[in-house]
Amino acid sequence: MKVYETNEIKNIALVGSKGSGKTTLAEAMLYECGVIKRRGTVEAGNTVCDYFPVEKEYGYSVFSTIFYAEFLNKKLNVIDCPGSDDFVGNAITAMNVTDTAVIVIDGQYGVEVGTQNIFRVTEQEKKPVIFAINQLDGEKCDYDNVMHQLKEVFGSRVVPIQFPIECGPKFNSMIDVLLMKKYSWGPDGGVPTITDVPAEYMDRAKEMQQVLVEAAAENDETLMDKYFESGTLTEDEMREGIRKGLVDRSIYPVFCVSALKDMGVRRMMEFLGNVVPFVEDMPAPVDTEMNEIKPDSNGPVSLFVFKTSVEPHIGEVSYFKVMSGTLKVGADLVNIDKGSKERLAQIFCTCGQIRTPIDELKAGDIGATVKMKDVKTGNTLNEKGFESRYDFIRHPEPKFSRAIKPENEADAEKLSEILNRMHEEDPTWVVVQSKELKQTIVSGQGEFHLRTLKWRIENNEKLNVVFSEPRIPYRETITKAARADYRHKKQSGGAGQFGEVHLIIEPYVDGMPKPDVYRFNNQEYKMNVKDTQEIPLEWGGKLVVCNCIVGGAIDARFIPAIVKGIMDRMEQGPLTGSYARDVRVCIYDGKMHPVDSNEISFRLAARHAFSDAFKNANPKILEPVYDVEVLVPGDKMGDVMSDLQSRRAIIMGMSSDKGFEKISAKVPLKEMSTYSTALSSITGGRSSFSMKFASYELVPGDVQDKLLKAYEATKTEED
């Protein structure tokens, strides 16, 4: 195939809500540019973009798919992204390496929560946006209502390029106000019949064209002056004005298509080829040192690997964007992240699983290679001597977690290798080996996201796994001072074990005064602090240990062992085995034996003394609480509120956000375990939510009682 120059390349992300028809649109685009001779369907499982077995099994996109279209002597690199909120990471990645987002709207449902979520990403990344209203042939399609929603939600920058003459099953023609022509199709779509605008639609067409001309003129002073002089612009001038408006996001053009019938697709592709910005028209990306890296094909060779997939019979396929320079087959590059050398023996342009070998790729182009030695998603590959590195993709926080283990414990190591490989393919699958919970936790964007992971492990890797609800990382603390002492004594012939520790514990807060005098059971204990250790805890909070021993009751060499014993119990709290935090300990007395005392004796004595004191210090359990934000259609507001309140949520506020309601709440993590599934069920998949750790808070008394009983039961079973 032809090698395209940087000024002939356009990179486009195909995004939108689940069910909006992106994959069907991609299939029509491939058909129109001659890559395929026959269009497949999602239902038949034979589309170019949904080629993984799991996608055919579920009937929806799971991974982003890269394809190219050679059209009008341009190369359009397109990334078809999954629409489900569970797989939003793919869309975020795609919009970081492309230059324009085509947001596909289901003409039957209009603007959905997923539409808004995707639009927010384009705002963050400052990417041009084009709306494509699809499924105009749908029974419930209402073009005027969809346009009203688009303008209401996204403002006056939304400017239609076309309008259909009739929606629904009879849709077969539309008016293009940029070209002022009528497009009509036969039953099979494809190449349209182009005629003049009929008289009965001329007034509406002229009115809409005037809005488009004004929007185009606003983006260039020269065009604005000409518009004021003549009252109109030529077709080429309008294209130039729209291109500039796309770059600075002052115009969001709207197109009409029926992807299933291949109507309007060719016209939209003409616009993509003629009008949308080239790679070099967009602001240059920056490296980690904030240096601009311009897409100069004569510059140093630099690649960013944005996606890795494992495909049957091939292994790892690495997808990359050429950030700078001209990449040629056989290039020797350095992995800046790892310092290793890589040779690209083959480079390809891809259409799904179809790989076309090519000799070279210019700056701004997107390609793939195979059988790299040590390259992962997010790595930068440069020619020797060029040190720029890229790290511009930020994935959303996980929202759904499950503990995972193999059915056969002997397969634990194999499972770990598989999970690490899966994370490389999709970084939004997060894997954590939790020392605290003693579980392997996999997290993702929702139940479907993790169900897909499980399906792939069991069907592709032939390893059966078990999902379970993850344990909650509770914390333990105390609310008052308490005293305890413990003597550890053991004699078993020869040297024995002896250590006695007396200590007082109390809640710790930053800035509290030094310990002075305590009273327990009418007895006074005066502290004489010799030294203080302040230990920040990995899991949050602090442990403060004050050495208040006088008269040499315990030798100073045993103090570290006592601190270790206390830490043993901080790491496995006396109430539920959870981490303890925010405790001050005063070691004020004890006894030792000239022969039998040793470190292990004092460590055990301290552990028991601390545990006894902790249980008498009115201990409390803390639970992680998250800030949760839910975006929900107005008609489902009441149901969602009721469900949140049943989850012990504290509603912090409510507001309207462009046609949807936004609920802010604080919710215990324990209650969020099934929230992703419940919210989808309540709202028919029309809502989304985000969650972020806020703080640890005291659990209610009844919840604490249940946790204590459950822990005692497990201890009994273990004993």
The model's pLDDT over 53-110, given as tens digits with 9 standing for 90+, comes to 777 777 778 789 999 999 999 999 999 999 888 888 889 999 999 999 999 999 999 9
Q: Is residue 394 part of a domain?
A: no
On whether both 465 and 485 belong to a single domain, the answer is: no
Q: Residues 701-708: what's their mean pLDDT?
A: 91
CATH number of the structural domain spanning residue 444: 3.30.70.870
Q: Residues 20-49: what's their mean pLDDT?
A: 89
Q: What is the pLDDT of residues 469-494, one digit of tens each?
A: 999 999 999 999 999 999 999 877 66
Is the pLDDT at 511 greater than 70, yes or no? Answer: yes
The pLDDT of residue 718 is 43
CATH number of the structural domain spanning residue 680: 3.30.70.240
Q: Residues 688-712: what's their mean pLDDT?
A: 91
On the CB side of 137, how many CA atoms lie within 13 Å of its CA? 18
Q: Is residue 289 part of a domain?
A: no
> Which structure tokens are listed for 178?
């940029």
Is the pLDDT at 362 greater than 90, yes or no? Answer: yes
On whether both 254 and 377 belong to a single domain, the answer is: no
Q: List, in order, residues 6 or more apart from 492 with CB less than 8 Å away.
A: none
Q: What is the pLDDT of residues 167-210, one digit of tens each?
A: 999 999 999 999 999 999 998 888 999 999 999 999 999 999 99
- pLDDT band at 699; cut points 50, 70, 90: very high
State how far the Cα of 512 lies from the Cα of 582, in Å rounded to an integer: 12
State how far the Cα of 400 lies from the Cα of 676, in Å rounded to an integer: 7
Contact 455, 447 (CB under 8 A): no
The pLDDT of residue 716 is 53
CATH number of the structural domain spanning residue 590: 3.30.230.10
Closest CA to 689 of 707, 671, 701, 705: 671
Could you say which of 618, 634, 665 is where a domain stops? 618
Q: Is residue 225 part of a domain?
A: yes
Q: Is residue 133 part of a domain?
A: yes
The pLDDT of residue 493 is 67
State how far the Cα of 71 lies from the Cα of 94, in Å rounded to an integer: 21
Q: Whole-prediction pTM value?
A: 0.82
The pLDDT of residue 548 is 94
The pLDDT of residue 31 is 92
Which H or E run includes 311? strand 302-311
Closest CA to 235 of 182, 271, 189: 271
On whether both 165 and 58 belong to a single domain, the answer is: yes
On whether both 555 and 592 belong to a single domain, the answer is: yes
CATH number of the structural domain spanning residue 312: 2.40.30.10
Could you say which of 281, 314, 337 is where a domain stops? 281
On whether both 457 and 532 belong to a single domain, the answer is: no
On whether both 357 and 441 belong to a single domain, the answer is: no
Closest CA to 622 of 504, 716, 707, 526: 707
The pLDDT of residue 659 is 67
Q: Is residue 100 part of a domain?
A: yes
Q: Is residue 186 part of a domain?
A: yes
Q: Residues 445-451: what's their mean pLDDT?
A: 88
Q: What is the pLDDT of residues 634-685, one digit of tens each?
A: 888 999 999 999 999 999 999 987 668 899 999 999 999 889 889 988 987 7
On whether both 578 and 442 belong to a single domain, the answer is: no
- Out of 382-386, 440-444, 548-552, which region has the weakest mean confidence (pLDDT)? 548-552
Q: Is residue 556 part of a domain?
A: yes
Q: Which amino acid is at 84?
A: S
- pLDDT band at 719; cut points 50, 70, 90: very low
Q: Is residue 389 part of a domain?
A: no
The pLDDT of residue 633 is 84
Domain with 440, as residue range(s), is 400-471
On whether both 58 and 129 belong to a single domain, the answer is: yes
Total of domains in the chain: 5
Q: What is the pLDDT of residues 94-108, one digit of tens each?
A: 999 999 999 999 999
Q: What is the pLDDT of residues 287-300, one digit of tens each?
A: 999 999 999 999 99
- pLDDT band at 137; cut points 50, 70, 90: very high
On whether both 246 and 314 belong to a single domain, the answer is: no
On whether both 634 and 613 belong to a single domain, the answer is: no
Is the pLDDT at 460 greater than 90, yes or no? Answer: no
On whether both 273 and 190 belong to a single domain, the answer is: yes
- pLDDT band at 717; cut points 50, 70, 90: very low
Could you say which of 471, 487, 505 is where a domain stops? 471
Largest CA distance in the chain: 112
**Percent of the chain whose predicted confidence (pLDDT) is above 70:** 99
Rounded to 10 deg, the angle between the 235-247 and 199-217 helix axes is: 50
On whether both 680 and 585 belong to a single domain, the answer is: no
Q: What is the pLDDT of residues 318-354, one digit of tens each?
A: 999 999 999 999 999 999 999 999 999 999 999 988 8
